[in-house]
Amino acid sequence: MPGSRDIPKKVLSATTALYPMPAVLVSCAGDTGGRWKQNLITLAWAGIASSEPPMVSIAVRPSRYSHGLISSTGEFTVNVPSAGMCDAVDLCGNVSGRDHDKFALTGLTPAPAQTIRPPIVAECPVSLECRVRHRFAGGSHDLFVAEIVAVQASESVVDAKGRIDVALVDPLCYGGGVYWRLGERLGTYGHSRK
């Protein structure tokens, strides 16, 4: 294997070059002007923050309509769309809940969460119900770090042992302004030690 000196590199300006990212649908809800409203926002800046307790982080610009809803309740759901839901995911990331009912617009179905008020998205194979525990003002985005308090998964993606089969989820990925789907399965955790 060549040393790093032999691999030509270009120094680029600092940017969020971490690929791939999940493209998720986050649902939120809140009382706006005496009316209970629910909304969907597409996020790619989402990740796991802890396993015990299970926690996720999402980065949301304060200008987003969803930012106000999440701040008001401290609750949201992270819904993992399959690659076939790419059009709906893109739409939810290009219009605002200030002007549109995104469930009506996309035809996606809100279904009750087990533990919190915002709905899950029935068509998404995996949904995480989350309660905000920490909030950090970063730069352009605020980071909400939330405990995953319940998980719902479609029966069609859960195996006999109760584990979620990622291949059946067929999750939608995002990177470089492009939507992707997962490709080949390369190995399992720890396979290099065998």
Ligand X SMILES: Cc1cc2nc3c(=O)[nH]c(=O)nc-3n(C[C@H](O)[C@H](O)[C@H](O)COP(=O)(O)O)c2cc1C
User: Which one of residues 76, 103, 144, 174 is an interface residue with ligand X (CB under 6 A)?
Assistant: 174
* 61 sits near ligand X (criterion: CB under 6 A): yes
Among 47-55, 79-87, 93-101, 131-139, the segment contacting ligand X (CB under 6 A): 93-101
Tokens encoding 136: 């950090």
Q: What is the DSSP secondary-structure string of 115-165? A: SSSSPEETTSSEEEEEEEEEEEE-SSSEEEEEEEEEEEE-GGGB-TTS-B-
Q: What CA–CA distance (Å, rounded) separates 152 from 164? A: 10
Tokens encoding 38: 């629910």
Measured from the CB of residue 102, what is the shortest distance to ligand X in angstroms? 7
* 27 sits near ligand X (criterion: CB under 6 A): no
8-state DSSP, 60: E
Closer by beta carbon to ligand X, 145 or else 158: 145
- With a CB cutoff of 8 Å and minimum separation 6, the contacts of 140 are 61
Closer by beta carbon to ligand X, 59 or else 120: 59
Q: For the chain, how many helices (H) and strands (E)?
A: 4, 12
59-75 as b/e, with b when 16 or more CB fall inside 10 Å?
A: bbeeebbbbbbbbebeb
Measured from the CB of residue 177, what is the shortest distance to ligand X in angstroms? 8
Q: What CA–CA distance (Å, rounded) separates 100 from 117? A: 20
Among 9-17, 63-71, 76-84, 149-157, the segment contacting ligand X (CB under 6 A): 63-71
Among 3-11, 58-66, 113-121, 149-157, the segment contacting ligand X (CB under 6 A): 58-66
User: Which one of residues 57, 73, 90, 151 is an interface residue with ligand X (CB under 6 A)?
Assistant: 90
* 65 sits near ligand X (criterion: CB under 6 A): yes
How many residues touch ligand X (CB under 6 A)?
22
**What is the binding site for ligand X (CB under 6 A)?**
23, 39, 41-45, 59-61, 64-66, 90, 93-98, 141, 174
